[in-house]
Amino acid sequence: MKKLLIVLAIMSVGTTFAQNKNAKANIEVDGVCGMCKMRIEKAAVETIGVKRAVWNLETHELSLIFNEKKTSVDAIEKNIAAVGHDTPNHKATDAAYDAIDMCCKYRDPSVVDDHKNMKGDGGKR
């Protein structure tokens, strides 16, 4: 029994040290414009432990650098969903989605098409 406790203690110490202070992850986040980009990146960076967050409008990929001792991808995704943007594991509530600007309604096909059309003419209306 004593040996088992020692082994478990050593394993838990090893697990603690295995956490990365500069972990990297990429997650998909739904959005359609520069306002979405600012909102998504802000929600991610305001998560304790996130050091860097950059969302790509074209690919919808959020690149992260974060401290695994302080946060997780799941926690970051929850914070992003809380400000109205869907991720693979967390869908924004209707209230959070409804609170985003009309031009950011990424679930509305006409808004998505409008943004695609703006890209085609240099972003001019």
- Residue pLDDT, tens place only, 57-101: 999 999 999 999 999 999 999 999 999 999 999 999 999 999 999
DSSP H or E segment with residue 63:
strand 61-66
Q: CB of 43 within 8 A of CB of 87?
A: no
Q: Considering the domain boundaries, does residue 125 fall inside one?
A: no
Q: Considering the domain boundaries, does residue 2 fall inside one?
A: no
Instruction: Tell me the C-alpha distance between 80 and 22, whole Å.
Output: 20
Q: What pLDDT sits at residue 11?
A: 57
CA-CA distances (angstroms) from residue 79 to 1, 13, 67, 87, 89? 43, 29, 16, 10, 12
Q: Considering the domain boundaries, does residue 9 fall inside one?
A: no
Assess whether pLDDT exceeds 80 at residue 113: yes
What's the mean per-residue pLDDT of the chain? Answer: 87
Count of structural domains, the chain: 1
Q: Considering the domain boundaries, does residue 52 fall inside one?
A: yes
For the chain, the first-to-last Cα distance in angstroms comes to: 73
Average pLDDT (37-48) is 98
Q: What pLDDT sits at residue 33?
A: 95
Q: Considering the domain boundaries, does residue 14 fall inside one?
A: no
Provide the residue range defining the domain that includes 63. Answer: 20-120
Which of 11-15, 18-22, 52-56, 104-108 is predicted with the least confidence, judged by mean pLDDT? Answer: 11-15
Q: Considering the domain boundaries, does residue 38 fall inside one?
A: yes
Which of 2-11, 31-40, 48-57 is predicted with the least confidence, judged by mean pLDDT? Answer: 2-11
Length of the chain in terms of residues written: 125
Residue 111: left (phi > 0), alpha (psi -120 to 50), or beta? alpha
Q: Considering the domain boundaries, does residue 71 fall inside one?
A: yes
Q: What is the CATH number of the domain that holds 62?
A: 3.30.70.100
Q: Considering the domain boundaries, does residue 54 fall inside one?
A: yes
